[in-house]
Structure 1
Amino acid sequence: MISAYAIGAIIGAPLLTLLGASMARRKLLLVTLMLVIIGNLATVFSTGFNELFIARLLSGIPHGTYFGVAGLVVASAVPLQERARAISRFMLGVTLSIVVGTPLATFIGQLFGWYWAFIQVCLLAFITLVMIVYLLPVNPHEKRSAPRTELNAMMNIQVWLTLGIAAIGFAGMFCIYSYLAPALINITHLTPHGIPPMLVLFGVGTVIGNVIGGRLCTRFRFDSVGIILSLSAIFMLVYPSAMHNILSAAAGVLLVGCLMALAPALQVRLFEVASSAPSLAAASNHAAFNIANAIGPWLGGMAVAAGYGWTSTGYIGAVMALGGLGIWYISKRLESRKSSSSEVKT
């Protein structure tokens, strides 16, 4: 069912954003939240596997558009130099959901039945919808877009390189996270009761990383992506060795969570390279994250199935981080050549 949601997010991000390109951002946010409510209600009332799969796919469709457009609303509300920190604060909601929301939903599902977890999502989406209606003012000066304008913005090679960094560079974190529980049980020798605290620690790492990522991006702009990916490769290379001791494993899990620092830096980068029509690019960023969420666990599963062990995911993650770093380097070189060419012409 996780795959169904991810497929919905990958398909829905460009499709729904293009369909709503001419809408006011406030209105599009309300539409996406209504779709979230409908999709999760459909999940609650599903009676078979096929119905449940379709319901989860529908639930994922508004994901990328909501986060992409909401990020644009946040970014447009602050001066240019404050965008990175504003985006990191916005993304703080996503990381806090890992720390609080996921364990809470699991607890509610175990206590009252799995469908109550999705009812909880519906209630939270409804509360968010009401808050937007009453707290987010209509912006009469907002620049409207159009499907063709959004598609033209996607013709910039820098947009695709940034999305490539997200899809490849983030895959390592998802690779490790997907097999974290069996690694902790089989390598660190934790009991099943010791897994939830470690997952919470991972969530705390994502919160810390998100804040640090915003500050790094404010200071170093696109260079912050190279810094974060370099650190990612180092952390992931150390991860297999760290898992043999509970204290070093805890530190390793926290540091892997900190790799969420990449998220605000990439979002700000997309706003810059697709400034004429950033909605589709911003939404596609979340589709790229879901592609990473598919690639990482798939590669990790292949390594584990081949007998390389539960912690081999760290080495795969390091390779993916280096792959993202390579794309970042290409992006920087192309940008440098373009700047040099412009200087020669003038």
Structure 2
Amino acid sequence: MPLPLLALAIAAFGIGTTEFVIMGLLPDVARDLAVSIPAAGMLVSAYALGVTIGAPIVAIAVANLPRKKALMSLIGVFIVGNLLCALAPDYSVLMAARIVTAFCHGAFFGIGSVVAAGLVAPNRRAQAIALMFTGLTLANVLGVPFGTALGQALGWRATFWAVTGIGVLAALALALCLPARIEMKEASLMREFSVLKNPQVLLVLAISVLASASLFATFTYITPILEDVTGFSPHAVTFVLLLFGLGLTVGSTLGGKLADWRLLPSLLAFLLAIVLILAVFASTMHRPVPAMVTIFVWGILAFAIVPPLQMLIVDRASHAPNLASTLNQGAFNLGNATGAWLGGMAIGTGVPLTSLPWVSGLAALGALALTAGSLSLERRAQRNMSLAAPGQCSQAPASAPSSTLRSQP
């Protein structure tokens, strides 16, 4: 892995860990701060909403900063936010600290994706983005389990002290490894927001929301599914979640490679496979070994779509990639919250846990339909360009100056 991408991956590991590790620490936080479990759960929702709302605001604020300086500033916010989490004397301060930390999340991944893509040859851009996001997948495989174990052993504050240390390490890596000058276009507020007039950009954002919702509508409730339906013990559930995290890591690499080969067709194939694997999981969740195999494959597919979607938004918004790429991170987090809400609403109306994969499948079908629409629009645009090109060529001699015509043999 090239050193600049390694530095971005270390930062992604820290950011991913601080986002998800709170889920494993909710009982400890609730007990220590004398709040209910649902109130502690709001720390998760507030973070996701902080990413969604804060991402475009922060992206605009750092739009004209040199890319290295912008990333260093964002990792600085990350360090301060986690330090405040570790020192928080009460629930309200912890909530504010989580929101501060969330503000750097979307902008860092958005700008970092553009920087990663610009550091390599054009035919390896999606793989570069995938390498950066490997840090996020490893956060689920290593950071969250170890962070949870550390918090349970030494208190939840110890986890945030450790994540603060990871942030300092990431800041040093970025300072030493990123090029001093990274090519960038001068940002214009009007140009940045004009990207939202592009229907192809809006389609990618909508695909990201639905794809993420398809994951979290079921995965949010994966522990009760595995314990109550499949029959796993709590200890075995931890192993299955580790298996899922390994699938995410494999999927990120696979998605990057295939996206560099054929971007939209690869995304279309992955989404179709997600619909199918969710249908399979509705059956295999009743038996331990088939459930484990299905969850591993689901993990691969769930993260295989991330590099293609991030690369697609950079391509679709080439004149304003930083804001669009950052908005896509907000779209992913909006999908997280939407998916959890859809799953919870379904359970609240009496739908059994065994039906949640079908709820997820509907969201994935929506993402698949939008991707097919985007591919159709792209092919239509290419066809129109190819039809227009011969006409332009045939008109050129007629409109050329007479002197030019006389000079030709």
Shorter-normalised TM-score: what interval? over 0.9
- Of residues 245, 258, 280 in structure 2, which corresponds to 1:238? 280
Sequence identity, in percent? 33
Equivalent residue pairs, number: 346
Matching residue's letter, 1:261: A
* Structure 1 segment 45-194 matched on structure 2, within 5 A: 45-139=87-181, 141-194=183-236
* Structure 1 segment 1-346 matched on structure 2, within 5 A: 1-139=43-181, 141-258=183-300, 259-346=302-389
TM-score (norm. length: structure 1) = 0.97
Aligned counterparts of 2:183 and 2:283: Cα–Cα separation in 1: 55
Q: Deviations over 1:196-239 (max 9, x none)?
A: 10110110110111111112212221111111100000001111
Change (3 A) 1:69 1:141: closer
TM-score (norm. length: structure 2) = 0.82
Q: Deviations over 1:278-322 (max 9, x none)?
A: 001111111111011001111111222222221222101111110
Gaps of 5+ in 1: none
Q: Deviations over 1:5-39 (max 9, x none)?
A: 11110111100001111111101101111111111
Aligned counterparts of 2:314 and 2:183: Cα–Cα separation in 1: 19
90-99 vs 302-311, greater mean Cα deviation = 302-311
Aligned counterparts of 1:177 and 1:221: Cα–Cα separation in 2: 26
Aligned counterparts of 1:267 and 1:157: Cα–Cα separation in 2: 16
Matching residue's letter, 1:170: S
Aligned residues of 1:13 and 1:64 also touching (Cα < 8 A): yes
Q: CA deviation at 1:252?
A: 1.6
Gaps of 5+ in 2: 1-42, 390-409
Change (3 A) 1:243 1:80: same
Change (3 A) 1:14 1:48: same
Q: CA deviation at 1:341?
A: 2.8
1:75 is paired with a residue of what secondary structure? helix
Aligned residues of 2:68 and 2:182 also touching (Cα < 8 A): no
What is the Cα-based RMSD across aligned positions, in Å? 1.3
Matching residue's letter, 1:118: F
Q: CA deviation at 1:333?
A: 2.0
2:305 is paired with a residue of what secondary structure? helix
1:143 is paired with a residue of what secondary structure? coil
300-309 vs 289-298, greater mean Cα deviation = 300-309
1:138 is paired with a residue of what secondary structure? coil
Aligned counterparts of 1:295 and 1:80: Cα–Cα separation in 2: 34
2:384 is paired with a residue of what secondary structure? helix
